[in-house]
Structure 1
Amino acid sequence: MIDIFDNYILQREELLARIAQELQLDKTRLERMESAYNAVAELLKKDEDFFDGLIIEVYAQGSKRIGTTVRPINEEDFDLDVVLHIYDPYYNHTPEQIYNALVKALEKHAYYKSIMEKKKRCVRLNYKSDFHMDILPACMPNYFEKEMIKIPEKALRNWSSGNPKGFSGWFLGIANSVKEPMLRKYADVLLEAQIETEELPKELYLKTPLQRTVQLLKRYRDIYFQNRDYRVSSVVITTLTAQLYQGESSIFEAIDNIVSRIRSNYTDALNRGYKFKVLNPVNPEEDFTDSWTSQHYESFYNFVTDFYKKWQNLKDSFETSKEDYIELFGEGVYKKSLNEQFRMFSKSTNNPLAKSSGLIVGGTAYTNAKGNINTDTGLKNGAHHNFGGEY
């Protein structure tokens, strides 16, 4: 059996997966959000005014759809973006008409009326259970392109184009192109250590390196821009990451290579005298950076460079990278993930420091008269949940 503590690369990879797993929305919240937009769909389908006789679908877009959710920091609400997809050509309606129809249908219901907030081109429902849902009404461009949508512009006078289903299919196609992810290769061996421990979520070792890369980059984005302006959007991070992914089998290699490629492409654009652009891969006419000012560009490059510098310190050992893990992903998340890793694998390791640390973390350690840590005799040590990663 593989001893994870004798294999730094594998231990680092498993830890990164744990950190990303810890960062994402939990199953309960995901189910609550899914229930919320399904309830809205049922309400609209029963509407006897505008939606009567129309075929509609309400579905999530963005991180929920592609499996890259990240919990907000500082107790902020999670922004759930959903599409109200009306399977009718846009030229049968005006942008203002479909927007007002959505508002009117929701206002008929006392609860939705009480939590509804009108935005420029979407309707927001502010749920008390730590998330809000932005509903974007949209129509088809014609009778043939059923995945494409026409979206009301902010002034509700014109339409713009979108393709959230196409984008998610594009991203997941690239994510699933990886041949043999490192953690899937060792999954059976690693999962043997589950004996007498809590059951691991199945997706811990199953999510692709690209999905984990997006989660970890977005986490540092949230930390980096807590007190900075010109925040980089999730769609820019997600698009760039997928465009520059080349099938790397590990989370670490994917991040290391992708961030290097972003920096290289950015400086190459500057040296050649043209703007660095991030275009929608399923709708090239849409430029995700079209509103960027010089401050946005500077902020973006500083963010990527700062991440890159910290990331380099993760290449050697945990002894030299503890503070960088904390700065990249947050102290609580890092320590909890490391604690759980030690508790899980300490029973199957021959590394004395890792074994004793795992016993202390798990609260099953005794110290005998000779000062040796064991599981049977001596003074029982209290459970320690703040192991800082000195190993």
Structure 2
Amino acid sequence: MPPPVEETISTLFTGAADILDIPPDLYSVAVERYEDVGNFLVLNGGPEWTVYPQGSFRIGTVIKPPTSNTEYDIDLVCHKDSSKDDMTKEELKTEVGELLQAYDAFKILEGNGDGPALCVEGRRAWTLTYPDLGFHLDVLPAIPDGERPPPRIRLTDTQNHLWQYSNPKGYSVWFQGRSEELRRTLEFKARAAGVDIVPMWTARSTLQRVVQVLKWHCYLYFAKDIGDRPPSVLITTLAAWAYQGERDLFTAAFNAVNGMPEHIQNRHGTWWVPNPAHERENFADKWNEPNERREKFHAWLGSLRNTLLEAAQSSRRDTASVIGSLGVAFGEDLLLKSATRMGLEVKNPMATGARRVAAVTAAASSGATGKFGAVPVVRTRSGRAG
């Protein structure tokens, strides 16, 4: 008898997340590159400079977007131990850019072939590209947040005249605290290695996998609408708040999707998803601009919920049928690779394509309404519809 559908989905999601995860050897190369950048900054800019990872690379939820022309996105903080009274944010951004451009020129002169292909300025960061390796480094200039205790920081933003707030190190600690499983795993690895602490990326807890699965689906859903795609940190924060300690990946993902809207706040007409490590940083800040990003976020979340629910309620429990029911939303090729990786038998993989077409036809005729399809009504903590 086939296993329960939920168990098959969990296994497929686990294998897919393994495939999308950054390989350990590439992770090591990325660490070597950003440490090299940091050493150059200290030697040429002074001891007040440090570089450290932030975001998904730091907390172990990085994935390669499931399209052929994308790279791993690795976020770094380029921190200068200075004060906003000593320099403007424009001066900080320029200084970091000049140092990174000098690093780029130095690597070209050195001729070892391990330097970036380009150094490009963005809204908040400078980007060092490594297309041959399949990743790029987004380097965010930062200084200490003098009004708050360390490790809180302030960031530059060319489209905002005010300093922006953040706390990547504090966020990492908060994220770890949302999963007892993750904490225990890291402690066990540290004891086995005879050290006080091991990097979070060495573990893969259910919570980390939930975030990877949600990000994976989001990349595919917004493949033709990248500009309105929800930021990774918004998905990660809401999923971590909604996570209830489940060990089964399907159950954890489904419950997170249902619970995420409860952690969206409306503060007197302003939408807020605060950084749990810095109350002045709002991960939903762009929802308060004249756009449709909030509506599209809820449309995506509703689509994901319906996909998971329909797959779990299917009467067909064999692996090929489960892949067929999930293939449109999650990518059939990746799910088939996952099945092979996880040792799941797919008796008739060619049939999944036919079921995928049937699923699309059924969805098109299911009476979805609204500009973005069927959008469930959710409530914020203020009681207003989200």
TM class by smaller structure? 0.7 to 0.9
Q: Which residue pairs with 2:240 in the alignment?
A: 242
Instruction: Give the structure 2 partner of residue 375 of structure 1.
Output: none
CA spacing shift, 1:140–1:26, aligned 2, 3 Å: same
Residues 301-355 of structure 1, C-alpha deviations (whole Å, 9 max, x = no match): 1101111111013325544432232123212210011122237xxxxxxxxxx5x
Give the Cα separation in 2 of the matches to 1:205 and 1:32: 15
Tell me what 1:76 maps to.
70
Correspondence for 1:174: 178
CA–CA distance in structure 2, aligned partners of residues 330 and 209 of structure 1: 21
Against the structure 1 CA distance between its residues 57 and 5, is the aligned structure 2 distance closer, same or farther, given a 3 Å change threshold? farther
Task: Give 1:358-369 correspondences, 5 Å limit.
Answer: none
Paired residue secondary structure (2:284):
coil
Residues 73 and 137, structure 2, Cα contact 8 Å, conserved in 1: yes
In structure 1, what residue type is equivalent to 2:234?
V
Residue aligning to 1:107: 101
Q: Is the contact made by 2:152 and 2:278 (CA closer than 8 Å) also made in structure 1?
A: no
Q: Does residue 61 of structure 1 match 2:54?
A: yes
Is residue 162 of structure 1 aligned with residue 155 of structure 2? no
Distance in 1 between residues matched to 2:275 and 2:241, nearest whole Å: 10
Unaligned runs of 5+ in 1: 185-202, 344-353, 359-383
**Cα deviations by residue, 1:149-200 (Å, 9 ceiling, x for unpaired):** 121232585422211111111112113357999xx9xxxxxxxxxxxxxxxx
User: Hey, what does 2:195 align to over in structure 1?
Assistant: none
Instruction: Look up the SS of the partner of 2:235 in the other structure.
Output: helix
Query: Structure 2 residue aligned with 1:135, among 129, 136, 139?
Result: 139
Alignment correspondent of 1:189: none
Relative distance call for 1:87 and 1:143 in structure 2 (3 A) is farther
CA contact (8 A) 2:60 2:201 kept: no
Please give the TM-score of this superposition, normalised by the length of structure 1: 0.72
Deviation at 1:126, TM superposition (A): 1.7
Q: Which moved more, 1:298-307 or 1:108-117?
A: 108-117
- The 2-side partners of 1:10 and 1:301 are apart by 27
The more displaced of 21-30 and 312-321 is: 312-321
Question: Structure 2: which amino acid aligns with 1:151?
Answer: L
- Paired residue secondary structure (2:73): strand
Query: How far did 1:26 drift?
Result: 1.7
Question: Which residue is equivalent to 2:125?
Answer: 122
- Aligned equivalents of 2:235 and 2:24: distance in 1? 24
1 CA distance for matches of 2:146 and 2:260? Answer: 37
Residues 273 and 284 in structure 2, CA contact (< 8 A), matched pair in contact too: yes
One-letter amino acid of the counterpart of residue 342, structure 2:
Q
**Partner residue of 2:330?**
329
Measure how far apart 1:19 and its partner are: 1.4
1:294–1:97 Cα change, 3 Å = closer
Aligned pair 1:305/2:266, yes or no?
no
Q: 1:28 to 1:318 in 2, by over 3 A?
A: farther
More displaced stretch, 58-67 vs 86-95:
86-95
Higher alpha-carbon deviation: 220-229 or 137-146: 137-146
Cα displacement string for residues 281-314 of structure 1 (whole angstroms, at most 9, x for unaligned residues): 1222222222224511221111011111110133
Look up the equivalent residue of 1:331 and give its one-letter code.
Answer: E
Q: Distance in 1 between matches of 2:126 and 2:306?
A: 40
- Indicate the residue corresponding to 1:282 in structure 2: 277
3-state SS in 2 of match to 1:291? helix
Pair 1:261 & 2:259 matched = yes
Q: Which moved more, 1:14-23 or 1:113-122?
A: 113-122
Deviation at 1:145, TM superposition (A): 2.3
SS in 2 for 1:18: helix
For CA contacts below 8 A with separation 6 or more, give which structure has more relative contact order.
2
CA-based RMSD of the aligned residues comes to 3.5
Aligned partners of 1:152 and 1:160 also within 8 Å: yes
* Aligned counterpart in structure 1 of residue 33 of structure 2, from 24, 32, 36: 36
Kindly state the Cα deviation for residue 210 of structure 1 after the two structures are TM-superposed: 1.0
- What fraction of aligned residue pairs are identical, expressed as a percent? 26
CA distance in 1, matches of 2:160, 2:5: 55
Match of 2:230 among 229, 232, 235: 232
Q: Which residue of 1 aligns with 2:292?
A: 295
**In the comparison of the two structures, how many residue pairs are matched?**
323
Counterparts of 2:201 and 2:270, CA distance in 1: 38
Equivalent residues of 2:76, 2:138 under 8 A apart: yes
